[in-house]
Structure 1
Amino acid sequence: MRHLKFTPSWLRFLIIFLLTMGILFRFFNLDNKVYCHDETYTSLRISGYRTTEVKQEIFNNRVITRESFAQFQGANQQKSLNDTIMNLAKEDPYHPPLYYIIARLWMQTFGNSVTAIRSLSACISLLVFPCVYWLCRELFNVPLSVPGVAIALIAISPIQLVYAQEAQEYILWLVTILLSSASLLRVMRLESQDKDEPVKEQKRPDLFAIWSIYAVTLAISLYTCLWSAFVALAHGIYVIIAAKFKLTETVRTYLLVSLVSFLAFMPWITIVMGDFFQFLISADKTIIQPPLIPTFPFLMMQLSRIFFDIDLKLDNPINYLITSIFLILIGYSICFLCLTTNYKVWFFLITLIVVPALPLILSSAGSIQLSTEPYFIPSYLGIQVTVAYLLATQIYNGSRSRRSIWQIIIALVIICGLISSKVSSQAETWWNKGMSYGNPQVAQIINQTSSPLLVSDALGNNYGNVFSLSYLLEPKVRFLLVNKQQIPKIPDGFADVFLLNPSENWRETIEENYKLKTDIVYSDQYYSVWKLAKSPKLRRRNILIKNKLVSSL
């Protein structure tokens, strides 16, 4: 590894400034972005209510207000923490319970608002910074240069900001990945030092403590996200390669510690396997497939979003230029890391980047679901640390002109991160909101009407999207929710009736039953919104008025 000098004063001040900005961005406008489909499911699981109970309560063909949703969106007196755990075990075991337990306790203290639940993720994200420092110290054994630059890059990283402001478990998962990885590196570094027996005996209690930390953090990671199994696999590959395929004491201890962690996770693994086999023998295997995204273009865009993200669409031509620039930076960083560090350093980061991502890429068959994107978080982390090593090293090495060039590159990366964070903090929606991306626009259309009624069923994505829209719609909006596409009983008194993502057959049945036509008012790749049209004569009158207004403008 190349010699790294102590961090100069200007770089220390820059790191402190970027860290401060990153913290401020994490807590700024927490409730500004749409509370998306997946986040409403987080609140539902925390509440302890099951989907069937919610359908009985509000999807019953009766007119309700948006306040009716609040009972099922957070901690409440009717359900306990045990109900939260049992709800996950029976309806969604693929999301382990740790985050939801912490979130329920948090919401019992701070309330059920969007700001309250997202502030938990923002607070957890602050733990990322000391954990990144520890990981980089174990990898590169330098006091501040690489760890400081890594902290600065992560502080203003748009992809990190996304998960630091989302009511899901992924930022907690990142913290557990950092802790388990850093503790594994530390214990391997201590065991690889002088093998003198007296020294070894003095270090044994320290080694036992660190192996215990690894076992606990790995178990916690598994109870946070099932994909931690692939992070553990990456660790196992690294340990075996570092031992040169020999069954050394370190390898045996690692296998024993990992076994303890997985045994601790065995109760939840049993639940997951039971749910999977129940699905296999179930007669109803109907799964609503969300829209798929081409794998390669999406992954290329995600690589650039680590450093620069202003919510550009996948087909935007500018993306190709941005992606190419950052792909070159990442590729050069990986090559530089492999050429200038010990194999134990670069191989650890390569396995962290590749192993958790490989199953997603191989199983995608050319197309990937947006919902699987968070499982690339270990890869994002490995890439950010790799780039941080390159940037921190290059500002010290080479001629003055070479250092100046790299200082300009660092400045551009920082500017990209700050611009991205600024744009993201003021946006109402973002690419990670998936099927709820267009909800602010839909809410604006509905809120503009005088006496609106939103009609929907509980099929597919409608269930979660109705909850998401309830956060955006004004109190004047009423909801008429039905189960199994029953004909809605639309009462008199509503001037504007909207249908949220109706199937073609259901929409035609409503048209025939009420002798009305429907006009589409919004559509994207996930869902559509239709409006029940008034009588033909009144419709023509409204069109003429609208045309006059447009011509006057």
Structure 2
Amino acid sequence: MHHLKFAPSWLRFLIIFLLAMGILFRFFNLDGKVYWHDETYTSLRISGYTINEAKQQLFNNRVIGGESFAQFQGANPEKSLNDTIMSLAKENSQHPPLYYVIARLWMEIFGNSVTAIRSLSAFISLLVFPCVYWLCRELFNVPLSVPGVAIALMAISPIHLVYAQEAQEYILWLVTILLSSASLLQAMRLESHDKDQLAKKRQPPDLFAIWSIYAVTLAISLYTFIWSGFVAVAHGIYVMVTAKFQLTETVRTYLIASLVGFLAFMPWLTIVFGEFFNFLISADKTTTQSFLMPIFPFMMMQLSRIFFDIDLSLDNPIGYFITPFFLTLVGYSIYFLCIKTNYNVWFFIITLIVVPALPFILPSLIAGGIEASTEPYFIPSYLGIQVAVAYLLATQLYNGSVSRRRIWHIIIALVIICGLISSKVSSQAETWWNKGISYDNPQVAQIINQTTRPLLISDALGNNFGNVFSLSYLLEPKVRFLLVNNQKIPKIPDGFTDVFLLNPSDIWHEKIEKKYKLKTDIVSSDNYYSVWKLAKPPKLRQRNISPKNKLSAS
């Protein structure tokens, strides 16, 4: 690895250039994409209101304007920081409170706009770069080459750009994974150096402080995202295997530090278990429709999105050319890592890639598919893959003949070009694949905004609650909302030129047709929800809407 300790000036310039481009893309057009279903729930939690409180004030069979939603979408004087934490504890404890507490304080300073809340994630994403530098230094013990290439890859990675502009906790989770992983590796390295220094009668490093950092960062990671428990399992497997399943001093210290981290998380974990048991004994269980994707195409698509992403669908032919290239690159990177580095290096990266992903992959193999909304849970795997690729690319800059190095220069150029193109396309788009059930909301809003005096009717079942909030950011002030609870028949007032139904169940919209003696025409439909329009049909006109095009939100 001696040749990796130094980087030529052109590589340093390239790293700085890509880092600057990555930072610019993170802050460009923050409010351009649709503020989608899950992000509106983030703002609702920050506001301190519960879902039931929002339903009572909004879904009450009265006509309201879009401004009525603002009270439930950010910091407000009626609710405190304690209300933010309590709303999570009561209704959504699987999301720990750390990010929401930080976001609440942030929005009290900078306001409740989409740009303000997303800028928090953009600023947090800047911490990724020094953290990945630290992790690579601990893994490879080189000052610039591998850490620098890793920083460049992370800066232009489309998958990280997505979460750097998302009003959710995932980019903060990535930072905590990097911190806990790097601190663990440093503690283990100093633990081994400690023995050598004691033998040479030198002053050992302060191991207590280093292990304390790991315990604290582990607790912070758990309070950011509960899936950190599986990252901790990966750490535990790594420590036990590298110690050859012996209870060494390093293993004992690790167990104590991990125990401290989990004990610090125990108050919130108790709340999680309490909510889970209440759900089991509750007679009122709401079921939502899930959309499963084939596991293998899903994994291949997510792997490709680490490096190249222009919002392609599964059946897009471009994917058949792009995905094999990156699959080969990743596969060879992991192989090269395993044969060129020592066991302590490659085994850490393999466990980080595999262990947190297995709890999703194994059940998906049995179920025959995986939910598209699970892609953020693979962030540890994305990180491990990028570190492996960074090591390969940094190494191939120097190894082999001139012709071999030129081939790898071309490959590196392709990876960089793919990342830059992806970032440019993503930064200018109004919607993206991660918007899930709100992907078509801009199209729906455009249809409604084109009418003269529109009225949007919806209930609060399934995904409708969050999508109504999402549409409130896109619809013009002239649009009015008539929101009902428990699918009551709405009282439609006079004076509206166009009336739309948001994702009605078959029974509900048939009852509305019958009461008002109107027909409904579908104006938008996808895998998640549909929008219908009430209309007076001609006498001899027959409906030509096939039942298979109807989507139920019951």
User: TM-score, structure 1 length as denominator?
Assistant: 0.96
Alignment of 1:64-79 (within 5 A): 64-79=64-79
Check the 8 A contact 1:145/1:392 in 2, yes or no.
yes
**Which residue of the partner structure matches residue 249 of structure 1?**
249
The alpha carbon displacement at 1:192 in A equals 1.8
Alignment of 1:25-174 (within 5 A): 25-174=25-174
Give, as a single letter, the amino acid of the residue that structure 1 aligns with 2:100. Answer: Y
Alignment of 1:219-238 (within 5 A): 219-238=219-238
Please list every run of at least 4 consecutive aligned residues from structure 1 whose deviation after the TM superposition is greater than 4 angstroms.
198-201, 537-540
**Which runs of 5 or more structure 1 residues have no equivalent in the other structure?**
541-553
**Which residue of the partner structure matches residue 461 of structure 2?**
459
Q: 1:380 aligns with which of 376, 379, 382?
A: 382
The alpha carbon displacement at 1:111 in A equals 0.2
Alignment of 1:292-441 (within 5 A): 292-364=292-364, 365-441=367-443
Where 2:203 maps in the other structure, the secondary structure is helix
The alpha carbon displacement at 1:204 in A equals 4.2
Percent identity, aligned pairs only?
A: 81
Cα RMSD of the aligned pairs, angstroms, is: 1.4
**Which residue of the partner structure matches residue 196 of structure 2?**
195
Rounded Cα–Cα distance in structure 2 between residues aligned with 1:266 and 1:450:
55
Deviating more after overlay: 272-281 vs 191-200: 191-200
Give, as a single letter, the amino acid of the residue that structure 2 aligns with 1:89. Answer: A
Rounded Cα–Cα distance in structure 2 between residues aligned with 1:530 and 1:3:
64
Rounded Cα–Cα distance in structure 1 between residues aligned with 2:161 and 2:368:
28
**Which residue of the partner structure matches residue 508 of structure 2?**
506
Rounded Cα–Cα distance in structure 2 between residues aligned with 1:447 and 1:332:
51
2:447 corresponds to 1:445? yes
Deviating more after overlay: 288-297 vs 40-49: 288-297
Give, as a single letter, the amino acid of the residue that structure 2 aligns with 1:431. Answer: W
Count of residues paired in the alignment: 539
Check the 8 A contact 1:2/1:393 in 2, yes or no.
no
Check the 8 A contact 2:18/2:155 in 1, yes or no.
yes
Deviating more after overlay: 335-344 vs 183-192: 183-192
Rounded Cα–Cα distance in structure 1 between residues aligned with 2:392 and 2:201:
35
Where 1:195 maps in the other structure, the secondary structure is helix
Rounded Cα–Cα distance in structure 2 between residues aligned with 1:289 and 1:535:
31
The alpha carbon displacement at 1:208 in A equals 1.2
Deviating more after overlay: 291-300 vs 147-156: 291-300
**Which residue of the partner structure matches residue 549 of structure 1?**
none
**Which residue of the partner structure matches residue 545 of structure 1?**
none
Rounded Cα–Cα distance in structure 2 between residues aligned with 1:289 and 1:500:
16
Check the 8 A contact 1:2/1:340 in 2, yes or no.
no
**Which runs of 5 or more structure 2 residues have no equivalent in the other structure?**
543-554
The alpha carbon displacement at 1:217 in A equals 0.3
The alpha carbon displacement at 1:201 in A equals 6.6
Give, as a single letter, the amino acid of the residue that structure 2 aligns with 1:133. Answer: Y
Rounded Cα–Cα distance in structure 2 between residues aligned with 1:295 and 1:84:
36
Rounded Cα–Cα distance in structure 2 between residues aligned with 1:214 and 1:159:
27
Q: 1:200 to 1:178 in 2, by over 3 A?
A: farther
Check the 8 A contact 2:197/2:204 in 1, yes or no.
no
Give, as a single letter, the amino acid of the residue that structure 2 aligns with 1:382. Answer: G
The alpha carbon displacement at 1:535 in A equals 4.9
Give, as a single letter, the amino acid of the residue that structure 1 aligns with 2:424. Answer: K
Q: 1:486 aligns with which of 482, 485, 488?
A: 488
CA deviation string 1:308-365 (max 9, x = no partner) = 0000011212212211110000000000000000110000000000000011101222
User: TM-score, structure 2 length as denominator?
Assistant: 0.96
The alpha carbon displacement at 1:525 in A equals 0.3
The alpha carbon displacement at 1:290 in A equals 2.1
2:271 corresponds to 1:271? yes
Where 2:370 maps in the other structure, the secondary structure is strand
Q: 1:516 aligns with which of 515, 518, 526?
A: 518
CA deviation string 1:430-462 (max 9, x = no partner) = 000000000000001001111110000000000
**Which residue of the partner structure matches residue 551 of structure 2?**
none
The alpha carbon displacement at 1:369 in A equals 1.3
Check the 8 A contact 1:296/1:366 in 2, yes or no.
no
**Which residue of the partner structure matches residue 548 of structure 1?**
none
Where 2:204 maps in the other structure, the secondary structure is helix
Rounded Cα–Cα distance in structure 1 between residues aligned with 2:330 and 2:85:
41
Rounded Cα–Cα distance in structure 1 between residues aligned with 2:142 and 2:83:
48
Where 1:518 maps in the other structure, the secondary structure is strand
**Which residue of the partner structure matches residue 214 of structure 1?**
214
CA deviation string 1:414-445 (max 9, x = no partner) = 00000000000000000000000000000010
CA deviation string 1:38-83 (max 9, x = no partner) = 0000000010001111111010111100000000000000000000
Rounded Cα–Cα distance in structure 2 between residues aligned with 1:506 and 1:386:
53
Give, as a single letter, the amino acid of the residue that structure 1 aligns with 2:405. Answer: R
Check the 8 A contact 1:519/1:532 in 2, yes or no.
yes
Check the 8 A contact 1:291/1:525 in 2, yes or no.
yes
Q: 1:398 to 1:5 in 2, by over 3 A?
A: farther
Check the 8 A contact 2:137/2:143 in 1, yes or no.
yes
Where 1:223 maps in the other structure, the secondary structure is helix
Where 2:196 maps in the other structure, the secondary structure is coil
Give, as a single letter, the amino acid of the residue that structure 2 aligns with 1:223. Answer: Y
Check the 8 A contact 1:304/1:327 in 2, yes or no.
yes
Rounded Cα–Cα distance in structure 2 between residues aligned with 1:468 and 1:290:
20
Rounded Cα–Cα distance in structure 1 between residues aligned with 2:281 and 2:5:
62
Rounded Cα–Cα distance in structure 1 between residues aligned with 2:421 and 2:95:
33
**Which residue of the partner structure matches residue 469 of structure 1?**
471
Check the 8 A contact 1:50/1:91 in 2, yes or no.
yes
Rounded Cα–Cα distance in structure 1 between residues aligned with 2:202 and 2:45:
48
Where 1:498 maps in the other structure, the secondary structure is strand
